[in-house]
Structure 1
Amino acid sequence: MTTYAGIAGAAALTLTLGLATPATSSGPSPLAWSACGPAGLGQECATLRVPLDYADPRGPQVDLAVSRIRASGSATWPGARRGTLLVVAGGPGSSGVQRLSAKGAALKEQLGGAYDLVSFDPRGVGGSVKARCGLDAADRHLVTLRGWPAADGSIDENVARSRRVAEACARNGGAVLRSLTTPNQVRDMDRLRQALGERRISAWANSYGTYVTAQYAQEFPRRTDRIVLDSSADPNPATVAQGWLRDMARGADDRFPDFAAWAAHPDRAASRLADRPEDVRPLVLDLAARLDRAPKPSTTPGVPLTGNLLRQALQSALYSDAAFADFARLVKQAADPAAVPVLPPVLAGPMPDEDATVTVGVVCNDVRWRGTLPTFRRGVAADRAAHPLTAGMPVNITPCSFWKDTPAEPPTRLTSDGPSDVLMIQGLRDPSTPHSSALEMRAALGARARLVSVDRGGHGMYLSNGNPCGDRTVTRFLLTGERPASDVTCR
């Protein structure tokens, strides 16, 4: 998904899970707002207290960072404020507060100030309560947190690292780490709704946030108004995040032709990699294979450019056309004997321990990991042959295989029960949540939803990689409640 796509599976039959917050002697305290964020945006921040464990609502409490931009009204929306729109970030591990800072101005312009725009940092993220596994720096690089196999396809190093990470998390994570779950984020969302004094809330959710928000809409159907799910994955409870990661292989194949066409266009000048689009893929794969054999020193001391670093840089670049030029520049630097590659900042050093902890914690807490060492080895070998762009990473072993705590609650099976108040928007060529996977979310929601498919590539469509047709459809729904009568495609 948006950051580290989690990987896990459930062996047992899963049933719909009731997530209603246990009764407490009093609701959440009112939020105390103060100015924060970029100048001129009118952003405010507050702290929301929630139970560490909802089974013990009067027990220890933890803090979540909350942010909002108040409704203002404009020529686009001259009427009264129509409610609260919750901006739900992806991940697991992405900051809602930062997403509101980044998207707030565009949202406010599109929606004419009709909504209070609100977001929050989930447990483990940003300004909210943190968990720490105490992981070694070498285990916190994005390219090692993700299960990229060795150059020869071996997964022995991945197995050792996954076991080491799981053991460190069991030793150091404590109760906060155990609380990092999708069900708790759903409960926290409703706690926020209560603190805002809203009877119902609307939401715009992205990536992993669509899974969280779809669960919220199922568990609290009378508390939702208008729900937008942007870039959804398959919610199948038998695979959940294990399936999300596996989908990245197909997603990269779907999306790469967009980059190939871009990188072969004659107008690219300094960024052009080949004369024909069909020549770009073999060029990149050959370069990655050469870097497997002989990593190239980069401008970051001690971190050479390897084949897997190049593949990870590609996977990240496929999220947005805006990243194509940087990846093309890296390819040129890697291929030029006289050049020294400059690594993207996200690949040049280890992630903070707190960030690495939440990226593995949520998916490993949510569901049991499915697979044995022989099946992982066979799967990686087959996937490397079928999908060389991702080289076996999406089906490889992760720390969830060695996680010490069993999931406290089974994954939720999403159904079509509930009000018809969901609009899905999805790119046809998404590198992380392929369109074929979004169709599984669409099928699960049934008559509750409509799907807008956008003939674009990238991850995240509304006000991002999409097109005016898709943006207009979402904006119209949020302002008027109007949806297409049936699923549509924006060409």
Structure 2
Amino acid sequence: MWTSALVALALAATTATVPAAAPDNGLTWGVCPGEAPPPQIQCGTIRVPLDYRNPDGRTIELAISRIRSTDPERRRGILLTNPGGPGVNGQAYPLVLTDPNAAAPLPSSVRDAYDIIGMDPRGVSRSTPVTCDLTQEQMAVGSLPYANGPADVVKQAALSRQEAAQCASSETAWMQPYVTTANTARDMDRIRSALGEPRMSFLGASYGSYLGAVYTTLFPQRSDRIVLDSNLGPDGYDITAMRAFGRGMQDRFPDFAKYVAARPALGFGTTPAQVTRTYHRLAAELDRAPVAGIDGSIFRGLTFDHIYSDGRFEALATVWTSLDQGEPPAAVPPPPATDNTVAARLTVICNDSSWPRSVHSYQHDVAVDRIRYPLIGAAAANISACAYWPWKPVEKVRITGRGPGNVLLVQNERDPGTPLVNARKLRTAFGERARMVTIDQGGHGAYVFGANPCGNDAVTAFLVSGSRPAHDKYCA
């Protein structure tokens, strides 16, 4: 389960000729791939070790990008960015953050202060990619389908075992054990070095919050200003974070229920409680009789995906209306998943943590979370390919308070993807290194993508002037 909005904003996949430009410490910039790429963004590649324990061994390629500050008095150096994932490309992300016509561009003061840097993490897209040879049918199942009972877990276990086997036998199996968050953080430091910068600032959201936390833990003295938005817990995408999707939806769904209840013409109820009962009714009916291939599991996933943003509430209500009438909804775009995006996501998540191997343990978790988080808990607790992953984790970075006080967490109270409960755990792990700005709003993405001036101003002030709140801050 993960939002796909940023994937659609990536650069086109076609390759253009890249003319040579002046190199930065061995890094050559040129025109970005794609048809008519905007002139303000430059793209390039660097090579990094596959295995940092063997730095003189085999190398892989990283695709990076840059939008230079137009301010000749550029003050802070570089701001490396990450939109989340794992498995999401980030080479085009600086365009998303600096587009003046976008809903949520970075303030001009931040764009003036930094060169904005993007990257496709190792294993992703234009960086040397990984594959698991997944079929369209496998990807159509989605991530962690809803399990109505123990038999559904057994069914998903068979699919998960096959996915893991395909990853192990793919043509990129030589690379996959080294596609980890810790190695991606080391790649980031190679980018910093290639750009000739003594320190680097960072802005990362969702999974990017964990990536940034690992980077500043491994390289505290090379970290300048670190902003972590929509935060995973200190252990990244482990089983606890995966199950937390259930908690996140319980936190967030009432916002959508209030939206629907305020529109009685929709016919789904006039109170949030009635709207919630409608959700369960529709899910159960679609479990029995899918509409245009949309069963109860996909319906729950669509609802979860759409509540990432208030701006998608209207479209979600339209989907509900069509399905309630037994008609295929017109407003559901096909998921932008590719073999690479799914393979890269699986590879990082499965490599970063140890996962239970017992099918029975997942059946137990599903039964518990179906009751504890009835909206989608039985999906979030379901078994995945990580239970059969052929490679064991070789490294776990422990987030601690050792290092300078240069970390700012920003977090929505009602975030479906990265709930507040886990953000607080990350805040605790950082200790005095960090401060946290908590915002009374819903959705995934707090800074710039949110609409709270108090929260946005606090982050902007930190990035531009280094002014960090003296204490944790709450924005009503």
Q: TM-score, normalised to structure 2's length?
A: 0.89
Q: Which runs of 4+ in 1 moved over 6 A?
A: none
1:311 is aligned to 2:310? no
Per-residue CA deviations over 1:32-70 (Å, capped at 9, x if unaligned) read: 112337765611111121112222222222111101110
Structure 2 counterpart SS, 1:96: coil
Amino acid at match of 1:206: A
Match of 2:273 in 1: 278
Per-residue CA deviations over 1:258-299 (Å, capped at 9, x if unaligned) read: 111112224x86x674322221111111001000001112xx
1:369 is aligned to 2:355? yes
Task: Say if 2:206 and 2:232, in contact at 8 Å, map to a contact too.
Answer: yes
Amino acid at match of 2:440: D
Structure 2 counterpart SS, 1:345: coil
Structure 2 counterpart SS, 1:470: helix
Match of 1:360 in 2: 346
**TM-fit CA distance, 1:385:** 2.2
Find the aligned partners of 2:446 and 2:372 in 1 and give their Cα distance. 28
Amino acid at match of 1:290: E
- Rate the CA distance shift 1:450–1:408 in 2: closer, same or farther, 3 A: same
Work out which of the residue numbers 381, 393, 396 in structure 2 matches 1:407: 393
- Rate the CA distance shift 1:65–1:336 in 2: closer, same or farther, 3 A: same
User: Pairwise CA RMSD of aligned residues?
Assistant: 2.2
Work out which of the residue numbers 80, 86, 110 in structure 2 matches 1:86: 80
- Rate the CA distance shift 1:2–1:83 in 2: closer, same or farther, 3 A: farther
Task: Say if 1:232 and 1:437, in contact at 8 Å, map to a contact too.
Answer: yes
- Rate the CA distance shift 1:225–1:44 in 2: closer, same or farther, 3 A: same
**TM-fit CA distance, 1:484:** 1.1
Write the mapping of 1:135-146 to structure 2, written as runs, cut at 5 A. 135-141=134-140, 143-146=141-144
Match of 1:35 in 2: 31
Task: Say if 2:153 and 2:359, in contact at 8 Å, map to a contact too.
Answer: no
Match of 2:181 in 1: 182
Task: Say if 1:138 and 1:144, in contact at 8 Å, map to a contact too.
Answer: no
**TM-fit CA distance, 1:346:** 3.8
Write the mapping of 1:57-68 to structure 2, written as runs, cut at 5 A. 57-68=55-66
Task: Say if 1:427 and 1:466, in contact at 8 Å, map to a contact too.
Answer: no
- Rate the CA distance shift 1:448–1:281 in 2: closer, same or farther, 3 A: same
Structure 2 counterpart SS, 1:155: helix
Task: Say if 1:151 and 1:292, in contact at 8 Å, map to a contact too.
Answer: no
Amino acid at match of 1:380: V
Find the aligned partners of 1:80 and 1:135 in 2 and give their Cα distance. 45
Per-residue CA deviations over 1:415-463 (Å, capped at 9, x if unaligned) read: 1010000111000000011111100000000000111000000111111
Find the aligned partners of 1:54 and 1:381 in 2 and give their Cα distance. 41
**TM-fit CA distance, 1:398:** 0.8
Higher relative contact order (CA 8 A, sep 6+): 1
Match of 2:94 in 1: 100
Match of 1:290 in 2: 285
Task: Say if 1:252 and 1:431, in contact at 8 Å, map to a contact too.
Answer: yes
Structure 2 counterpart SS, 1:91: coil
Q: Percent identity?
A: 39
Task: Say if 1:51 and 1:61, in contact at 8 Å, map to a contact too.
Answer: yes
- Rate the CA distance shift 1:424–1:454 in 2: closer, same or farther, 3 A: same
Amino acid at match of 1:86: L
1:464 is aligned to 2:452? no
Amino acid at match of 1:242: I
- Rate the CA distance shift 1:272–1:462 in 2: closer, same or farther, 3 A: farther
Find the aligned partners of 2:334 and 2:198 in 1 and give their Cα distance. 40
Work out which of the residue numbers 443, 455, 461 in structure 2 matches 1:476: 461
| Runs of 5+ unmatched residues, structure 1 | 5-27, 298-303
Higher mean C-alpha deviation, range 126-135 or range 106-115 = 106-115
Write the mapping of 1:246-395 to structure 2, written as runs, cut at 5 A. 246-266=243-263, 273-297=268-292, 304-337=293-326, 339-342=327-330, 344-347=332-335, 351-395=337-381
Per-residue CA deviations over 1:106-130 (Å, capped at 9, x if unaligned) read: 2252525111000101012221111
- Rate the CA distance shift 1:149–1:159 in 2: closer, same or farther, 3 A: same
Match of 1:397 in 2: 383
Task: Say if 1:2 and 1:207, in contact at 8 Å, map to a contact too.
Answer: no
Corresponding pairs, count: 449
Task: Say if 2:319 and 2:331, in contact at 8 Å, map to a contact too.
Answer: yes
| Runs of 5+ unmatched residues, structure 2 | 5-23, 100-104
Higher mean C-alpha deviation, range 56-65 or range 254-263 = 56-65
Find the aligned partners of 2:145 and 2:282 in 1 and give their Cα distance. 20
**TM-fit CA distance, 1:251:** 0.5
Match of 1:489 in 2: 474
Write the mapping of 1:113-124 to structure 2, written as runs, cut at 5 A. 113-124=112-123
Find the aligned partners of 1:102 and 1:31 in 2 and give their Cα distance. 23
Higher mean C-alpha deviation, range 367-376 or range 63-72 = 367-376
Task: Say if 2:90 and 2:118, in contact at 8 Å, map to a contact too.
Answer: yes
Match of 1:417 in 2: 402
Per-residue CA deviations over 1:134-178 (Å, capped at 9, x if unaligned) read: 12322112x433243257863121110111111111111412222
Per-residue CA deviations over 1:197-242 (Å, capped at 9, x if unaligned) read: 00001111111111111111111111011110101111148xx521
Find the aligned partners of 2:150 and 2:214 in 1 and give their Cα distance. 41
Find the aligned partners of 2:117 and 2:203 in 1 and give their Cα distance. 10
Match of 1:54 in 2: 52
